[in-house]
Amino acid sequence: MIPHRVAHVFPFDTRHLSGSQQAFPPMLLRRWPLAAVAQSQLAGRSTAHILGPEARTDTTTPLKLIVHRASLSGPRFRDWGDDWSWSLGLPLRRLGPDDVCVLHLNDYQAARYVHRAAHRARIVLVFHGRGLGRADDHLLLADRHVVLHRAASAGLQELGVSPDRIAVMQPSIDTSVFARRAVQPELLVLGFVGRLEGAKGVMEVPRVLAALPHARAELIGPATDEERDVLVNASRRAGVAERLRLLGELPPERVAERMRSWSVLLLPSYSEGFPLVAVEAAAVGLPVAAVDSVLPEELTVQRGIHIGSREEYANVVKGAVEADQPPVAGWVQSHAQAAEAWDALLEELQPFTSRPRIAVQRVDRVKRFRPLRRAVRRVRGNSSRHHQSS
């Protein structure tokens, strides 16, 4: 049955992920899943929702994107997963049995608020990251679960989700932008794409440069002033600061251009779902150096993906350089292919069945109110110092 309306909801403040509030929404429209949704037969029935510091609407593609002004959220006030906007709740509560709410976040408090607000519509949960959450009403009352690799599907089944409610969907990329070109790579340039934070393993970059004295590195991605200072200071201590170049956030065309000049993509993350940057690297023929037990098996079995322990990560990078074995791109999916998968998934949903509204723990939300947590830490720190001095 073709849905009447489809709401794709990303219930997080853009300030968690990007330093440019004007550039981030259009960039989101150019990447999976929204780039694929925009090419689907259901694009005209679909709307994407996200949170930000200012309300705005983007209608530059067939898929309309609405940015809702966040209510007491964002990095200054709320931790990741605690964001919300009262204006987002209004269109979600208007969804009915013939509509679908595709929720691109799971388990966090913000995801539960979306699930509760859209309780009269069918719910599709999309698991972008590695975690699957708890086996509670939020997980078990969803109509469909979209995961990015087979291991996540097996994990959901262990939590009690029926296999016929799980869909494995491979993320797609813009194959017209990320494609091989006849470009001569520059001499031993290592690349990194992602937020310059500890969870992405960015602190491995200075150590790798120290182990490869003839290499230099280019890093693409947003960072706070604090994250940038930590990385630069670590590079100075390692004696490699002059070989480190921070390029900031770049549009996809520039990312692809720089990728074609690199020797290896550094992907030392601590946790990943199905990283798009690895797919983009494969499409341009760029080898990838990653860490054990982080990437899904569907990626690790591909040619040109090099894996090893974090302790030996510099040797993993060296091996990727010396192997001279670029990836093959036959397994990479275009947005047009992924668009067909989205249409099929949404049209195959079972009719709506009544279910109770999921529970939300408002006390937990208060506990994660960032100014309050900072005040508690200061009080505890002062108390601990007073105790030690006495």
> In this structure, what are the phi and psi dihedrals at residue 174, rounded to the nearest 5 degrees?
-80, 95
Q: Is the pLDDT of residue 236 over 90?
A: yes
39 CA to centre of own chain: 20
Record the pTM: 0.89
Neighbours of 226 (CB within 10 A): 9
The tokens for 169 are 């969907």
CA dihedral 192, 179, 182, 263 (to 10 degrees): 20
Would you identify the CATH topology of the domain 189-323? Rossmann fold (3.40.50)
* Matching residue, tokens 């599907």: 153
* Matching residue, tokens 């992405």: 200
> Which strand ranges, in their side-by-side order, compose the sheet holding 264-267?
244-248, 216-220, 189-193, 264-267, 288-291, 305-308
**pLDDT tens string 91-103:** 999 999 999 999 9
> Please, are residues 7 and 92 in contact by the beta-carbon 8 Å criterion?
yes
Q: Is the pLDDT of residue 385 over 90?
A: no
User: Is the peptide bond prior to 206 cis by the omega test (within 30 degrees of 0)?
Assistant: no
The tokens for 370 are 């960032």
The answer to whether 6-172+338-359 and 189-323 have equal CATH topology is yes
**When comparing pLDDT for 387 and 353, which is higher?**
353
DSSP three-state, residue 344:
helix
Class at the top of the CATH hierarchy for domain 6-172+338-359 = alpha beta
Helix (H) or strand (E) holding 49: strand 46-52
The pLDDT score that the predictor gives to residue 37 is: 97
Q: Could you tell me the residue ranges of all domains in the chain? A: 6-172+338-359, 189-323
Half-sphere exposure of 135 (CA within 13 A, CB side): 8
Most confident region among 18-22, 288-292, 327-331 by mean pLDDT: 288-292
DSSP 198: G
Give the confidence band of 59 by pLDDT, cuts at 50, 70, 90.
Answer: confident
DSSP 123: E
Q: Is the pLDDT of residue 27 over 90?
A: no
The pLDDT score that the predictor gives to residue 231 is: 97
Q: Is the pLDDT of residue 184 over 70?
A: no
Q: How far apart are CA 377 and CA 382, in angstroms?
A: 8
The pLDDT score that the predictor gives to residue 188 is: 92
Q: What angle do CA 3, 141, 111 make, to 5 degrees?
A: 80
